[in-house]
């Protein structure tokens, strides 16, 4: 999908095509099927021209040839009689602009479907997403037909949250009942780390968001979708594409630019079939049944950490959780781990070449593909599951069994929350970064919640252990502390302030307390040169924001927020 999107963009500029390594080793590769859908396509004279290989500086790339567009059909919300198009009731920006430009610059025509017409000059320039110069014809859907002919998605005519008119309350993600989907989603979620930029595929991977919400981690992740939404919660099922409470939108071709450039930290994708060498098929299950890959190839080949999610078997699989782990009550009729996939949408060998970290997560086992073996390796197994009968016998091949085979976390199979947030944020030692040159310690408290007196003492006792040898060796230390995402429960403030004062007197030469980007800037100043006036400007803004929050915050929890700005480790 990303390569096709950029093919269209290339046509708008009369470029030869889109050049990328995305698609190598998959069915898009000319050495496989070159993207041909059927035998007729393979026999077409155009087949060998549409996707070709080219070496650039010793690196193999694919060229997706740009094609002239005779007619571009796009959709918007409002048009004026000049053809200017706005998208205020559309849930995504998609690629309306580049489709229109590509058709227009090919000598073709552009037809835009809209809900309504506005007077000339009444549309704000910043709201116009497709200029009237690109549009030849506007088709207005009668208001009575909006619900049937101008739907926002397959099931929804209009949703004010998905198009960004309003934001919905947080914490309303539906919890998944304990079962196959939740077990797989929980194990996959254990690969997540705070502040990561993530893509979730449609279907099973959507469960990762539900688990993140249940574990109170959703606010610490950036979820994105390939059609162009950043932040918020991606819509699921037939609503897939937009996001609830998205923080920003961009055109689809631009989002894939970001993905291909490596902006994603991790992605979670489904898998219809997995082969012995780690190939994955999601695009076609039979000769006459084409599903298509969507953005799967772009995402899976451009992300450093890839997690595929699938049940071990399907069509009739029944499981239950026990006090000791997992029980297979009835095995599925169809095996998902096969000798060879029907169509290669992801290449295990290509992943090894690219240096990707690839996991295959099921409800009862976890596999990985590495350069060490040319067969996937079994690295984890669910408690109470038999290695031979429940795992190996349910595969069409024999995997490598790791000599360090681990038991999957038992919390995955229990009804209660896993409560893994503290583990994900890392130990206190990992949160401390010491700079020898200027005897400064950076402490990141992001995500820590102090719920009891024991928690408060744990924090300060741990800091003393870390700081004591440094202070003994070089004297009192300069501290820079990050408070974004830090919380302390009511009733603990006095103890916290008292412990802070004692630690400051014992070990601090100076202390600066920040939230968010200010902390990152303080770290960067130790690594790169930043002009003095820029540094002072940032500090002025930081102080202004803090003082502004002191004078304008009126929520009931305001006293705690102020405390976090002015006292602490």
So which residues are the catalytic ones?
Answer: 226
Q: Position of tokens 């007197």?
A: 505
Give the Cβ contact number of residue 353 at 10 Å: 14
Rounded Cα distance between 349 and 482, Å, is 42
Torsion from C-alpha of 554, 557, 561, 567, nearest 10 degrees: 120
Q: Is 223 helix (H, G, I), strand (E, B) or coil?
A: strand
Q: Give how far Cα 9 sits from Cα of 4, 66, 116, 197, 296, Å.
A: 9, 8, 28, 25, 20
Q: Position of tokens 């290339």?
A: 10
Q: Give the HSE-up count for residue 64: Cα atoms under 13 Å, Cβ half-sphere.
A: 21
Rounded Cα distance between 368 and 335, Å, is 18
User: What are the phi and psi torsion angles at 405 (to 5°)?
Assistant: -55, 125
- As given in the structure block, the two tokens for residue 300 are 């899976």
- As given in the structure block, the two tokens for residue 206 are 């959507």
Pick from 192, 89, 76, 177: which is nearest to 134 by CA? 76
Rounded Cα distance between 156 and 163, Å, is 12
Question: Angle between the 517-524 and 532-552 helix axes, to the nearest 10 degrees?
Answer: 160
Rounded Cα distance between 503 and 512, Å, is 14
Q: Is 378 helix (H, G, I), strand (E, B) or coil?
A: strand
Burial label for 544, CB within 10 Å (0-12, 13-18, 19+), is exposed
Which residues are paired to 401 by β-bridges?
378
Q: Position of tokens 């669910």?
A: 382
Q: Mention every residue, 6+ apart, whose C-beta is less than 8 A from residue 507.
A: 464, 467, 468, 471, 476, 477
> Terminal CA-to-CA distance of the chain, rounded, Å?
49
**Residue 505, H or E segment:** helix 493-507
Q: Mention every residue, 6+ apart, whose C-beta is less than 8 A from residue 361.
A: 184, 187, 188, 307, 308, 309, 310
Pick from 426, 369, 434: which is nearest to 399 by CA? 369
3-state helix, strand, coil in the chain (%, to 5): 35, 25, 40
Rounded Cα distance between 333 and 336, Å, is 10
β-strands 284-286, 289-290 pairing:
antiparallel
β-strands 440-444, 432-435 pairing:
antiparallel
Count each helix (H run) and each strand (E run) in the chain, helices first.
16, 37
């Amino acid at each position: 999908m990303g390569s096709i999107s950029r093919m269209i963009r290339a046509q708008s500029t009369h470029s030869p095509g889109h050049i990328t390594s995305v698609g190598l080793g998959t069915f898009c590769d000319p050495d496989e099927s070159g993207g041909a859908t059927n035998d007729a396509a393979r026999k077409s004279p155009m087949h060998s021209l549409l996707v070709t290989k080219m070496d650039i500086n010793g690196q193999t790339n694919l060229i997706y040839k740009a094609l002239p567009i005779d007619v571009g059909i796009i959709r918007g919300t409002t048009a004026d009689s000049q053809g200017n198009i706005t998208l205020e009731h559309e849930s995504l920006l998609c690629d309306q602009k580049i489709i229109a430009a590509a058709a227009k610059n090919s000598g073709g025509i552009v037809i835009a479907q809209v809900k309504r017409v506005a007077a000339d000059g009444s549309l704000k320039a910043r709201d116009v997403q497709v200029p009237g110069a690109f549009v030849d014809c506007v088709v207005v859907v009668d208001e009575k037909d909006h619900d049937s002919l101008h739907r926002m998605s397959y099931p929804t005519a209009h949703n004010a949250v998905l198009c960004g008119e309003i934001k919905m309350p947080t914490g309303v993600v539906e919890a998944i009942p304990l079962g196959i989907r939740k077990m797989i989603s929980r194990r996959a979620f254990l690969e997540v780390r705070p502040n990561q930029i993530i893509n979730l595929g449609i279907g099973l991977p959507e469960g990762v968001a539900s688990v993140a919400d249940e574990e109170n981690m959703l606010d610490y992740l950036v979820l994105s979708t390939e059609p162009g939404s950043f932040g918020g919660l991606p819509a699921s099922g037939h609503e897939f594409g937009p996001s609830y409470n998205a923080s920003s939108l961009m055109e689809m071709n631009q989002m894939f630019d970001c993905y291909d450039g490596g902006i994603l930290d991790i992605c979670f994708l489904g898998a219809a079939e997995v082969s012995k060498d780690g190939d994955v098929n999601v695009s076609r299950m039979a000769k006459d049944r084409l599903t298509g890959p969507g953005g799967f190839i772009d995402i899976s080949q451009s992300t450093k950490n890839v997690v595929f999610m699938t049940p071990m078997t399907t069509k009739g699989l029944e499981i239950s959780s026990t006090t000791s782990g997992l029980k297979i009550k009835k095995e599925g009729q169809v095996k998902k781990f096969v000798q060879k996939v029907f169509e290669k949408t992801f290449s295990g060998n290509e992943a090894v070449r690219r240096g990707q970290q690839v996991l295959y997560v099921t409800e009862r086992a976890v596999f990985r593909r590495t350069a060490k073996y040319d067969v996937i390796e079994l690295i984890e197994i669910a408690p109470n599951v038999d290695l031979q009968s429940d795992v190996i016998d349910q595969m069409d091949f024999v995997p490598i069994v790791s000599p360090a085979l681990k038991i999957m976390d038992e919390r995955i199979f229990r009804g209660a929350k896993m409560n893994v947030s503290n583990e994900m944020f890392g130990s206190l030692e990992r949160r401390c970064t010491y700079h020898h040159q200027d005897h400064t310690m950076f402490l990141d408290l992001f995500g820590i919640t102090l719920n009891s007196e024991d928690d408060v003492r744990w924090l300060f006792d741990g800091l003393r252990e870390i700081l004591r040898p440094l202070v003994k060796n070089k004297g009192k230390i300069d501290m820079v502390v990050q408070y974004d995402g830090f919380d302390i429960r009511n009733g603990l403030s006095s103890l916290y302030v008292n412990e802070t004062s004692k630690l400051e007197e014992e070990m601090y030469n100076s202390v600066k307390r920040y939230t968010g980007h200010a902390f990152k800037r303080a770290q960067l100043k130790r690594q790169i040169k930043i002009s003095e006036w820029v540094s002072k400007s940032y500090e002025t803004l930081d102080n202004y924001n803090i003082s502004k929050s002191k004078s304008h915050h009126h929520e009931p929890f305001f006293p705690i927020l102020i405390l976090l700005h002015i006292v602490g480790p």
